[in-house]
């Protein structure tokens, strides 16, 4: 019978599957790192813009609540 269960075949198929996953992860790693870098840069940019807006609004708007909403 060809439908016999073989541990060696099962382990071989498992390793082939895991090897394919590892290759896929390695191929996508640069994109993942670039996405993290872009996310960090935009976070820093948002903080800088918020700080600049707060400073500008502090000079022109007297109400603190309005300053917080806009910035």
pLDDT, position 60 = 80
What is the tally of structural domains in the chain?
Answer: 1
Residue 59 lies in a domain: yes
- Structure confidence by residue, pLDDT tens digits, 1-23: 467 878 888 899 999 999 999 99
The distance from CA 32 to its chain's CA centroid, rounded to whole angstroms, is 6
Residue 2 lies in a domain: no
Q: Kindly tell me if the per-residue pLDDT of 25 is higher than 80.
A: yes
Residue 20 lies in a domain: yes
Task: Give DSSP secondary structure letters for 17-28.
Answer: HHHHHHHHHHHH
pLDDT, position 45 = 98
pTM confidence score: 0.60
CB atoms within 10 A of CB 47: 10
pLDDT, position 3 = 73
Mean pLDDT of 26-35: 93
Helix (H, G, I), strand (E, B) or coil at 5: coil
Mean pLDDT of 39-47: 97
Residue 1 lies in a domain: no
Cα angle for residues 63, 50, 60 (degrees, 5° grid): 35
Residue 14 lies in a domain: yes
CA distance 71 to 55: 10
């Amino acid at each position: 019978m060809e439908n016999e269960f073989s541990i060696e075949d099962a382990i071989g198929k498992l390793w082939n599957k895991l090897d394919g996953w590892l290759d896929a992860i390695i191929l996508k790693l640069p994109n993942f790192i670039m996405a993290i870098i872009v996310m960090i840069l935009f976070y820093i940019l948002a903080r800088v813009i918020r700080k600049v807006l707060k400073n500008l609004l502090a000079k022109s708007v007297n109400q603190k609540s309005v300053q917080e909403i806009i910035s």
